[in-house]
Amino acid sequence: MSKRFKHSPPRWADWFLGLFCNPDLLEQLQGDVHELFYWRVEEKGYSHAKWSFIWDVIRLFRWSNIRRTRKQGQKLNQIGMFKNYFKIGVRNLWKQRMPSAINIIGLSIAVGCSIVAFKFVEFSYVKDNFHKNKEDLFLVTHWEELESNKGRNGATNNELTREILESVPGIKASTRYNRLQLEARVNKQITYNLTHFVDPAYLEMFTFELQAGNPKTLNSADQVVIDESTAIRLFGEQSALDQSIELKIGEEWKVFSVGAVYKDKPHNGSLQLGILVNYQHFEQHLSKLGQDDWSTNFFIQRQAGIQPELLLESMDKLLPIYNKDNEDGAYSNFELEPITTMANNAYEMSNSIGSAPNKAPILTLSAIAVFMLLLSTLNYVNISLAMIMKRLKEIGVRKVVGSPRRQLIIQFLCENLLLCLLSMFVGLLLAQGLFLPGFNEIAGVSFQLNLLSHQNFLIFLAALLLFISLASGLYPAVVASSYKPISILRKATQRGGRRILSSVFLTFQMILAMVTIVAAVMFVYANQVNESIEWGYDQHNKLVIGIPESDYRDAFRDVLLADPSVEVIAGTRSNIGQSLNGVQFKNGEVKTYAELFEVGRNYPEVLGLKLVEGRLFDENLESDFRKMLIVNQSFLEDLQLTFDPDGTTVVQDSVEYSIIGVVEDYHYWNPGMEIRGAAMRAIPANLYTSYLVEMREGNIFEHRGRLEEKLQAMVEEKSVYVGIQELMFEGFYDETRGIGNIMIFTASIAILLAAMGLYGLVSINISSQIKDYGIRKVLGASSFNLAKAIVLKFRFVLLLAILVGCPLAVLLVGALVDNVYAYAPGIGVGPLAVAVFILLSVTLFTFNLQIRRVRNMNPAETLRIE
């Protein structure tokens, strides 16, 4: 046998040549390399010919052989072809209105949920990116030695900031940043406002939108800058510009005029406006207090072209001299934190600016968006496969007249793109009109759709459109184009493999629906459990009344004691449920942080704490003011202590305290925070800042209104706070109810999408076997037998969804609930049983819709269909 026929070129290399080569050149180039191959086989052997052939193919892989040149007529033909595809797509959308509407609804809901998730994730992670100089702005931080490790600090010694500005080249501008809660007086009305002390360069370095006034206002020490919200709160509808405002800095009232009003900072901004005051007033305030050494947040703006490394190198050279005089607070080294990452890294440092994103809601919303996308995509695929069965003859005819498979795939993808574009449009409407307003109300934000001015959002929408177009349309398009014309026209299409894959998709939908149902049930249940949880004290019929100033302390007490509806009052400086004060306690080598509350001696008794061991504070014992503590049970456990009536001591800030009593654990904060050690220390009456008032039986809201009116009449310039103790955690409960409502909505949509997917798959089954069901009816099959034949084919789908969905729900939902609640109930048989019942009920209802179709069909009509 001739070597020419005994050996052939490497198949993969020959295939690769056909893949990349221009079809107009393929025959000529392929003939040349084949001829060379056979010549080399005869002259030099097969091994040499094989490698030479591969090398020839590689050399031919160049643009001149790859390029496809098209004539103008071909381009016009392609434009016309795509126009025709979209015309067919519009006609099919109208012809198949019901399945198209189902697909559009499912995808649009998923798009709306994804938009909300994107907005929240972007809001959480993209911070401070609106400043024009963001690339050049840095917060100066440093590393310092702590007791057990190194820690990072976002505040810099004030004197050291002066040294940095004098000794470090390359700094264009800088500002210090400190804040205090100050009393502000306007027209004899006093309010509390967060006030920021900054250097004049603050408004030049950072970008805020000026509403009215002079942007150079901070250059004047007797003028202040306020934002729009502060202006409305202080001056109402009248113009705030040039108005007078008094601020109580320390014990001194200072008069300022408003030199500029800025619009409120963007929601993703970490740096505040509020009231801005020239930094020299903060220096004067501390000087009067005898403090000449303090720390401040220190921001710098580098000069153009200056690398941060050069700045750090110069800064670190100052540390040996500084540390020599400050051994206790020695700095290890400086680090520059870019303004755009400052908030996200806030958890890494003390005295930070901004807040790191809370990952629990981010994960929750992202998971919901992903679930919705998966469910709607799988639902779309199943229904699309059902609709393909009605277009088989069209596909067969197209193939018979010469339409290649690639052309069919492009046509189906174009039709799918049209439907996805409609879904994107409806999804944007849903997000703008329903999802975002609802989420804004729940989360306390103000997200809006800014299509024309939001580049990241446009990129996200484009990526989302590409994903849903390919994920939902590629597989049905490939399936539709894979049928053989002869099989279609002879009605001999093999659908078994596709049915199996559709069943897999449906099973996955059912599993996701099962997980979301369990999540909804668990959040509703967890809300009920947490709202009925024991607080560890009697929170009912109690009011919390703030004392505006020390001058009103005795007057308020006298008015309250004289009121017939008041049972008893107790003074405090840190009311339970309103504030936290974590400090470190020591028991030998054991250290832990615990909450320290400073209260009046009868406060534990009035609050209703439950004594376990020892005693409460005694109003007749002055010694209880001297380093005595009442602690909860967790305090003893954390410090590995056992209560001894004869003396149990702990150390806090080098002071030794004796524990005189132990009470049951109580919720000093909402149930979202796990109870840790807590201690109460008695303080004298002259330190009280509020009163806890126990009321007699009656309407607590009426009691609050009456006392608030009475006390407010005594204080004309200040507002009086009167709160209800049992409503202290209402904000947390409102938030968790909102999450529960979101989960119920998610579960409802998941059930709907799963039901639609099931509807589509059952429809495929019935349409493909319509004659079989007709023959069964002619032979006398009952409605029950027909229903049984339909349902039994999906028994494994439901069984697998339940068997896989239950443990998966326990794993995923359990982790999610534990992330939200500190005291989350376990997922028992009850929630799983409820979820299974809901899933089966919806499934049987969906089956019934199709069974009625079979039961009501006319066998004569079905048997007459060719």
Angstrom CA distances, 300 to 523, 643, 697, stand at 46, 53, 59
Q: Is the CB of residue 275 less than 8 Å from the CB of residue 194?
A: yes
Beta bridge partners of residue 628, listed in sequence order: 658
Rounded distance between C-alpha atoms, residue 618 and residue 442, angstroms: 45
Q: Give the whole-number percent of the chain exceeding pLDDT 90.
A: 26
Phi, psi dihedrals of residue 856, rounded to the nearest 5°: -95, 0
- Three-state DSSP at 655 gives strand
Residue type (1 letter), 590: V
347 or 679: which carries more pLDDT confidence?
A: 679
- Residue pointed to by tokens 């069919």: 408
Helices assigned H by DSSP within 61-132: 63-66, 72-95, 97-125
The whole-number pLDDT of residue 679 equals 94
Specify which residues 331 forms β-bridges with.
144
For 226, residues 6+ apart whose C-beta sits below 8 A from its C-beta are 234, 240, 245, 258, 260, 261, 262, 273, 274, 275, 276
The CA distance from 752 to 118, in Å, is 23
When mean pLDDT is compared across 475-479, 510-514, 599-603, 608-612, the lowest value belongs to 475-479
Q: Binning pLDDT at 50, 70 and 90, where does residue 866 land?
A: very low
- Residue 478: Cβ-neighbour burial (10 angstroms; 0-12, 13-18, 19+): middle
E strands, 717-862, are: 722-724
Task: Find out whether 157 and 293 touch, Cβ atoms under 8 Å.
Answer: yes
Tokens 């810099």 correspond to 156
CA 605 – CA 598 distance, rounded (Å) = 14
Residue 361, both tokens = 């809601």
Please give, one letter per residue, the 3-state secondary structure of 663-707.
Answer: ECCCCCCCCCCCCCCEEEEECCHHHCCEEEEEECCCCHHHHHHHH
Which are the contacts of 217, defined by CB distance < 8 A and separation ≥ 6?
Answer: 203, 223, 224, 225, 259, 260
Give CA–CA dist 457/369, Å, rounded.
16
Confidence at residue 68, expressed as pLDDT on a 0 to 100 scale: 59
Torsion sign across C-alpha atoms 153, 157, 160, 165: positive
- List Cα–Cα distances, 400 to 69, 89, 744, 795, in angstroms: 28, 21, 51, 39
Q: Rounded to 5 degrees, what angle do the CA atoms 146, 151, 157 make?
A: 90
Place of tokens 């406006």: 273
Q: Which helix (H) or strand (E) holds 816?
A: helix 795-820
> Between these two residues, 579 and 833, which has the higher pLDDT value?
833
Q: Report the pLDDT averaged over residues 599-610.
A: 93
Angle ∠(671,675,679) on CA atoms, nearest 5? 130
Cα 863–chain centre separation? 56
359-364 long-range contacts, CB within 8 A, separation 24+: 360/819, 360/820, 361/120, 361/443, 361/739, 362/120, 362/121, 362/124, 363/816, 363/819, 364/739, 364/742, 364/816, 364/820
Mean pLDDT for the stretch of residues 825-834: 88
Which tens digits make up the pLDDT trace of 195-244? Answer: 999 999 999 999 999 999 998 999 999 999 999 999 998 888 888 898 99
Nearest-angstrom CA–CA distance, 634 and 676? 6
The residue with tokens 């201690």 is 679
Mean pLDDT for the stretch of residues 114-122:
87
Q: Which candidate, 398, 698, 430, places its Cα nearest to that of 563?
A: 698
Residue 2 has pLDDT above 50, yes or no: no
Instruction: Using the Cα atoms of residue 596, residue 598, residue 604 and residue 608 in order, give the sign of their dihedral.
Output: negative
* Per-residue pLDDT at 6: 65
Give the pLDDT confidence of 261-271 residue by residue, as tens digits. Answer: 999 888 778 88
The residue ranking higher by pLDDT, 589 or 255, is 255
* Tens-digit pLDDT profile for residues 440-488: 877 667 788 877 767 788 889 999 999 988 888 887 878 777 777 666 6
Token pair recorded at residue 714: 């005594």
Reported pTM = 0.66
Instruction: List CB contacts of 514: < 8 A, sequence separation 6 or more.
Output: 801, 802, 805, 806, 808, 809, 835, 836, 839
pLDDT, residue 72, reads 44
The tens digit of pLDDT for each residue in 639-649 reads 999 998 888 89
Q: What is the mean pLDDT of the chain?
A: 83
What distance in Å separates the CA atoms of residue 386 and residue 100, rounded to the nearest whole number? 12
Q: Is the pLDDT of residue 494 over 60?
A: no
Q: What is the mean pLDDT of residues 75-99?
A: 64
pLDDT at 418: 84
Count the alpha carbons within 13 Å of 253 in the hemisphere toward its beta carbon.
Answer: 9
- List the structure tokens of 408: 């069919």
Residue of 677, 670, 679 whose CA lies nearest to 822: 670
pLDDT recorded at residue 602: 92
